[in-house]
Amino acid sequence: MPEIKSRSSVIYNGLEMPPLNPALLAFEAPRLLCLGRFLDWKGFDLAISAFATLQERFPQARLMIAGDGPEKPNLEQQVVELELNDRIEFTGWIAPDEVAT
């Protein structure tokens, strides 16, 4: 997209991911993870809204939201309002070496 090249930049992953273990990929329902500091501009609210839409097609899907920050109460309220309490879990902070497990 040449028209936005001058306004764009690449943001590389902050974590070095270990090789995937195929045994960890064997599960019955889709599991998604959002990880980061809960700040309003990071879009965790959008992830929750997108997950709500995803539930219509994949009712067994689950979302884990890992991290902490000032937006946590708002995000928890959004989950309650969307009636997704049993499908979205706030795990708190996860150490980088535990993310893949």
Task: For residue range 18-52, list pLDDT tens digits in order.
Answer: 776 766 666 677 888 899 999 999 999 999 999 99
Q: How far apart are CA 92 and CA 101, in angstroms?
A: 15
* 46 three-class SS: helix
CA distances from 28 to 18, 19, 24, 45, 78 (A): 23, 21, 11, 26, 26
Q: Which residue has the higher pLDDT, 19 or 81?
A: 81
What is the average pLDDT across 65-90?
Answer: 96
Q: Please check whether residue 64 is in contact with residue 94, taking contact to mean a CB–CB distance below 8 angstroms.
A: no
- Using the predicted structure, report yes or no on whether residue 101 has a pLDDT greater than 70: no
Q: How far apart are CA 92 and CA 85, in angstroms?
A: 15
What domains are there in the chain, each with its CATH number? 18-98 (3.40.50.2000)
